[in-house]
Structure 1
Amino acid sequence: MRTTIEVQGARENNLQNISVEIPRDRLIVVTGMSGSGKSSLAFDTVYAEGQRRLLASMSTFAKRFVGQLKKPDVDFVNGLSPVVSIDQKTVGSNPRSTVGTMTDISDYLRMLFATMGTPHCPECGEAIPIRSPHQMLEHLLSLPKGTEVEVRAPVYQVYGEDYEYLFEQIRVNGYRRARIDGNAVDLGDNIELDEDETHTIEAVIDSFVVGPGIDQQVVTSLQHGLKLGDGLLSFHIVSPGRLTAKLRKFYEGFGCAAHHCVAGELHQAQFTFNDPAGACPGCTGLGVSMRVHPRLLTPDPTRTLNNGAFVKAAISNNPDSWGGRILHSLAAHYGLPLDVPFQDLSRQHVDLLLYGTKGGKFPVVIPPGAKLGRQHEGKEMKYSGIVNQLEHQYRRYRKRGESNAGMDEYLKKVMVEFDCPECGGARLKKSRRLVTVNDRNLYEIGEMHLIELLRYLSSIRPVARHRAVAEIVLKEVSTRLELLINIGLDYLNLNRRSATLSGGESQRIRLSSQIGSGLMGMLYVLDEPSIGLHPKDNVRMIET
């Protein structure tokens, strides 16, 4: 077996017919002045030829998908192994890419949570056991025959959407009944709720009387309800009668005794922000959302509302536009001055313009000089405010998947990136954030520094029924964490976005992934792997 890589007659780029022998199975440093041909030798000759030969060994069918690679300008290269190049560059701008996804550690942690996660009641935070639909059915059948049971699924308002949007989502899933703050409602009726108040809303999945022949109906209802309730259900006895003692026994050990909440089985897809089953509905798993910054709406606050204090398209002062009618209606009903500089308006009037009447109604007034029809005059209406209207417009625009250069440019001028108000940057649904392992949820684990995370994982003691899977997962994650720590990345966390990494950091992460693969006989070509490292970490890097 050859002990060197022999390069003869390399003329790539500025190399001048260079011949060199490079020892194999060692750490070799190619050094020299800028422009001396280091990269031309390492990347454009050795790596390029190794990659070309590997692809040339593939079948004709496979070559159709990878294309033809150019042969480097070199006489010959002998002694090559399969070669991997890891250069210095940021990973890209994909907002869904994190340190956890780059290293595959997130995949293992999802498996850990699906295996040994503990759900908690969304109302009181009490830990609740996991039940399959058939286990739920078996427990329900333990009630006396003739007991009427109502199955409900908790649903939550999405930030920025009104309650009608939530009711529509329930109706789309085929349900017409709900409980709002415990009161039964028909979703076919016109339901008005104060949008500034928080309400407890549950979709009524099914109601049945305990008795023979209900098994299939109940299991089907439970399966559908768990899907709508994101893995959570609640059971309520409609007419408890004399069942007080039996009910206490029914709820104890089955779910949350106080709120009658039960958790369904956990699956890996529920813990990824790249899947609708786990992604926060407010930001679709990005962890951030674009929100209107009020100061960007009024670039010149010395202007009055009549003189166009707001940026174009925020609200118009044209008397024939709907915006003009809104302004004059607010002026007539709330005393909003239209000829006072915006900077001199009272806090109440600024809040009225930006965030609306908050449920309050006012009559529509037709502005002086308006030429269009007066059909809306006197009609009572609500106003959600400029900020809420623009953010609602943005969400609708994004949901439709449209691309409009003009709209994008306009939104960039008035919107800035904030942590998602729905999930606080955690990227996951509320029900997923209520699942913990050793009292930490997945987001909290992802926020730990890697060295702290390694200590946390070493403290986990799986119970017997989880041990077979959990020990394998913990071993894999710990091995990858140790590699990252040894190459000087102990200060990172798994939630760190890839786009924020430096070139050296992203290179070392990719290097750790390659080393962790366990492949032998590989040839790695690295571009300044020690860049950005403290001198004390150089030895750890070499040992790795």
Structure 2
Amino acid sequence: MSTTTGSDARPAAPHVADSHDAIRVYGARENNLKDVGIEIPKRRLTVFTGVSGSGKTSLVFATIAAESQRMINETYSAFVQGFMPTPARPEVDVLDGLTTVITVDQQRLGSDPRSTVGTVTDTNAMLRILFSRLGTPHIGPPGAYAFNVPSVRASGAITVERGAKTKAVKETYTRTGGMCAHCEGRGTIPDIDLGQLYDDSKSIAEGAFTIPGWKSDSFFTVRVYAESGFVDPDKPIRAFTEQEMRDFLYREPTKVKVEGVNLTYEGLIPKVQKSFLSKDRESMQPHIRAFVDRAATFATCPECGGTRLSEAARSSKIAGTSIADACAMQISDLAEWVRGRDEPSVAPLLAKLRHTLDSFVEIGLGYLSLDRPSGTLSGGEAQRVKMIRHLGSSLTDVTYVFDEPTIGLHPHDIQRMNDLLLRLRDKGNTVLVVEHKPEVIAIADHVVDLGPGAGTEGGTVVFEGTVEGLRAGGTITGRHFDDRAALKDTVRTPAGALEIRGAAAHNLRGVDVDIPLGVLCAVTGVAGSGKSSLVHGSIPAGEGVVAIDQSPIRGSRRSNPATYTGLLDPIRKAFAKANGVKPALFSANSEGACPSCNGAGVVYTDLGMMAGVASTCEECEGRRFQAAVLDHHLGGRDISEVLAMSVAEAADFFGAGEARTPAAHAVLGRLADVGLGYLTLGQPLTTLSGGERQRLKLATHMAAKGGVYVLDEPTAGLHLADVEQLLGLLDRLVDSGTSVIVVEHHQAVMAHADWIIDLGPGAGHEGGRVVFEGTPADLVAARSTLTGEHLAAYTGA
């Protein structure tokens, strides 16, 4: 492939005979892409590079992968398509040469309380079959070992043949499941603080309930209790009789009539458990999540000891090991246990189970256990778990798409990931990788660099060719490809310490360590060595500690940087004050919304099995506000024009003159500090890249008054050039008197730190110890740990 530069470098019209050799994209305009035209070689490893927000994800995921999935969906019948999501066709003129795309992204696995590493990889299913065949005592089919299957007693009719005649016979039978009845397969039981559910000094009629959304006129909640007849709605709850209190809190579901309508009355505690505590916490709205955190604490189930399984399931064993014991093992140990089983009757099952468990170890996840809740995995761990099912696949000529597969990996583990990517390619597949790490870019057969900048300044292909060509190409990626941060000549002196004593969370082995304050401290170690357990599990949260982890930003297409950061509040107030009207007028989600599109700016038309159509609202022309609202100005601009500004432009606008608004200017300054000066204020959060979302979160937390900042891999999703800017930001935070603790794998951050705490020496039960404490220079000089060896190689020391 020839090297091309700039947006004018579009490939020639496709030849049908060549479609077997390349994926061709013409006129791609998704998000910020500017009519991109590109040829991607098939059965090769192509890495897509560029600064955060340059358009990599828009090209690879939102265009190529999305169109492949849409076309596959179209092969199903109209009936089947009616049950499937209907993504719209990407904004692109031609996509030629597509194959089936398998996307392995960083979306976290669902955090349903019953979802574990074992269930999401089907490993639990294989273990259940194994125990149902070999476990003694034998307790039933695989479902008897499943914590998601309850035991039920039911009646039904069966048909019995008697000679030439048949007869229907009623029979009562029991289906045995492995679920612990006490915790319903969750492993924990909630302890509910009743004081967070109601004010017992009030009656129900006086509005005693303090549960979010439970209004006095709510037909299915408050009025059911008030008009059930089980309690006196006009009596303060604290004056209820013993029977009233029992009915109020614990009564089993009972049919009642409320104003002639049949409804179900249920005790408050089971009602709250079903309505709130059984839901995915991460999918809740912030105020609901805050309520749940206040109202309930979770303790290990005393009946099953947290295993989620019934006593019968726990009693059945193979060579003295129950299925609960197997799921609690570190996967590398479980792989050895399975290797020790030799039973010809289940040989194919054992072979498949061995392969799956070995894949965990091979991909660097051998330190996990199958009973680990899936919602606790980091984005990088979740992505690698998703890879498990593809490693042994016999499929070829498939396109695999990866989103920064090295996130969360120590430099020592990156080579292993590279080997896996190359193996997928060598089986005859096309591998597309969005990545910033030079170690991954270096193994590419083909590199596509997008830019030259981010947002509106990006969206073009600035380079396409070999790695050697990239180095000499003069793009931002090429210029920074061989950047190496140097070890500091002098380091800051600590101004105190956070003392951690006897830390034993997860795999930590009674760790005693002093984390220095007043400096930049990096906590390092291979994945699974205990870094997050030490930092997030042992540093006391509270006043003065601001923790910024990798949990995703949640927001709808109505959410944008202005709403997420709270920037819109001072802007609305400034507009209201300047025009003598209410602030709510300047909200597209409130009184100022265009009535035609309800403030969305677009009108959505549902076309059933086909993808819906979004068209710009004709009344507001996409501005989202009523025409009367746009007659109000501040500094010569209306609210829609302000939301169309970039962060940098808005900082100038609100920093001086008639529009001067110090509160807004402060937020904009923080956004600029984290490198988001190019974002527009009204850009939907759903269009931001992973790196942009993380920096947006960092900018928001910078407003908190914290003496200690705890950051979890802040370089995730950052381009090589952006890492330098991040280091400058961390320096400014420390120099302003803030202590910064960073869990990090990036060698540039390690080299720039004042102090390093290295955990290891390995992962899982081979880790959990502090193997080094000191300055980066001392770590490099000692070369006593894996981190020390890689940092020495990185710095050339």
Task: Report the TM-score, using the length of structure 1 for normalisation.
Answer: 0.52
- Residue 81 of structure 2 corresponds to which residue in structure 1? 63
1:534 to 387, 410, 415: 410
Whichever residue aligns with residue 529 of structure 1, its letter is P
1:279 aligns with 2:153: no
Residues 82/421 of structure 1: CA separation in 2 closer, same or farther (3 Å cut): same
Whichever residue aligns with residue 273 of structure 1, its letter is F
Deviations along 1:329-377, whole A, 9 cap, x unmatched? xxxxxxxxxxxxxxxxxxxxxxxxxxxxxxxxxxxxxxxxxxxxxxx9x
2:140 to 266, 271, 275: 266
Contact 1:278 1:432 in 2 (8 A): yes
Q: How far off is 1:520 after superposition?
A: 2.3
CA distance in 2, matches of 1:410, 1:33: 39
Give matches, 1:74-153, under 5 Å.
74-119=92-137
CA distance in 1, matches of 2:329, 2:276: 39
Contact 2:147 2:179 in 1 (8 A): yes
- Residue 509 of structure 1 corresponds to which residue in structure 2? 385
Residues 312/94 of structure 1: CA separation in 2 closer, same or farther (3 Å cut): closer
Whichever residue aligns with residue 408 of structure 2, its letter is G
Give matches, 1:345-424, under 5 Å.
397=268, 403=275, 413=294, 415-424=296-305
CA distance in 1, matches of 2:248, 2:403: 46
Q: How far off is 1:33 after superposition?
A: 0.8
Q: How far off is 1:118 after superposition?
A: 1.4
Give matches, 1:351-500, under 5 Å.
397=268, 403=275, 413=294, 415-462=296-343, 467-468=344-345, 470-500=346-376
Contact 2:185 2:308 in 1 (8 A): yes
- Residue 326 of structure 1 corresponds to which residue in structure 2? none
Q: CA RMSD in A?
A: 3.5
2:42 to 20, 24, 43: 24
Deviations along 1:197-255, whole A, 9 cap, x unmatched? xxxxxxxxxxxxxxxxxxxxxxxxxxxxxxxxxxxxxxxxxxxxxxxxxxxxxxxxxxx
Whichever residue aligns with residue 271 of structure 1, its letter is Y
Contact 1:89 1:502 in 2 (8 A): no
Residue segments in structure 1 that go unaligned for 5+ positions in a row:
120-129, 131-264, 298-309, 319-375
Whichever residue aligns with residue 360 of structure 2, its letter is L
Deviations along 1:377-425, whole A, 9 cap, x unmatched? xxxx9x9xx9x99996899656567648999998864541011011110
CA distance in 2, matches of 1:83, 1:41: 14
CA distance in 1, matches of 2:380, 2:26: 31
Residues 493/404 of structure 1: CA separation in 2 closer, same or farther (3 Å cut): closer
- Residue 7 of structure 1 corresponds to which residue in structure 2? 25
Residues 82/275 of structure 1: CA separation in 2 closer, same or farther (3 Å cut): same
Contact 1:89 1:504 in 2 (8 A): no
Q: How far off is 1:543 after superposition?
A: 2.1
CA distance in 2, matches of 1:407, 1:21: 48
Residues 69/287 of structure 1: CA separation in 2 closer, same or farther (3 Å cut): same
CA distance in 1, matches of 2:361, 2:59: 31
Q: Aligned with 2:318: secondary structure?
A: coil
Contact 2:276 2:292 in 1 (8 A): no
CA distance in 2, matches of 1:442, 1:519: 32
Q: How far off is 1:461 after superposition?
A: 2.5
Task: Report the TM-score, using the length of structure 2 for normalisation.
Answer: 0.36
Identity fraction in percent: 37
1:525 to 395, 398, 401: 401
CA distance in 2, matches of 1:60, 1:409: 42
Q: How far off is 1:69 after superposition?
A: 3.1
- Residue 767 of structure 2 corresponds to which residue in structure 1? none
Greater mean deviation of Cα atoms: 15-24 or 93-102: 15-24
Residues 284/72 of structure 1: CA separation in 2 closer, same or farther (3 Å cut): same
Give matches, 1:220-235, under 5 Å.
none
CA distance in 1, matches of 2:33, 2:23: 17
Of Structure 1 and Structure 2, which has the larger fraction of its residues in strand?
A: 2
Residues 75/312 of structure 1: CA separation in 2 closer, same or farther (3 Å cut): closer
Whichever residue aligns with residue 96 of structure 1, its letter is R
Contact 1:450 1:490 in 2 (8 A): yes
Deviations along 1:126-170, whole A, 9 cap, x unmatched? xxxx5xxxxxxxxxxxxxxxxxxxxxxxxxxxxxxxxxxxxxxxx
Q: Aligned with 1:47: secondary structure?
A: helix
Residues 538/64 of structure 1: CA separation in 2 closer, same or farther (3 Å cut): same
Residue segments in structure 2 that go unaligned for 5+ positions in a row:
1-18, 151-176, 204-240, 253-265, 278-286, 421-797
Q: Aligned with 1:28: secondary structure?
A: strand
Q: How far off is 1:27 after superposition?
A: 2.2
Whichever residue aligns with residue 426 of structure 1, its letter is T
Whichever residue aligns with residue 508 of structure 1, its letter is R
Residues 8/527 of structure 1: CA separation in 2 closer, same or farther (3 Å cut): same
Q: How far off is 1:285 after superposition?
A: 0.7
CA distance in 1, matches of 2:37, 2:202: 76
Deviations along 1:254-287, whole A, 9 cap, x unmatched? xxxxxxxxxxx52111000111121001001111
Whichever residue aligns with residue 498 of structure 1, its letter is S
Whichever residue aligns with residue 52 of structure 1, its letter is R
Q: Aligned with 1:460: secondary structure?
A: coil
Whichever residue aligns with residue 510 of structure 1, its letter is K
Residues 37/316 of structure 1: CA separation in 2 closer, same or farther (3 Å cut): closer
Which protein has the larger Cα radius of gyration, Structure 1 or Structure 2? Answer: 1
Whichever residue aligns with residue 454 of structure 1, its letter is A
Contact 1:291 1:391 in 2 (8 A): no
Whichever residue aligns with residue 401 of structure 2, its letter is V
CA distance in 2, matches of 1:404, 1:523: 40
CA distance in 1, matches of 2:69, 2:196: 55
CA distance in 1, matches of 2:48, 2:290: 47
Whichever residue aligns with residue 128 of structure 2, its letter is R
Whichever residue aligns with residue 288 of structure 1, its letter is T
CA distance in 2, matches of 1:531, 1:514: 19
Residues 429/13 of structure 1: CA separation in 2 closer, same or farther (3 Å cut): same
Contact 1:314 1:390 in 2 (8 A): no
Q: How far off is 1:66 after superposition?
A: 2.5
CA distance in 2, matches of 1:105, 1:397: 38
Contact 2:249 2:268 in 1 (8 A): no
Q: Aligned with 2:321: secondary structure?
A: coil
Whichever residue aligns with residue 387 of structure 2, its letter is L
Q: How far off is 1:114 after superposition?
A: 0.2
Contact 1:486 1:541 in 2 (8 A): no
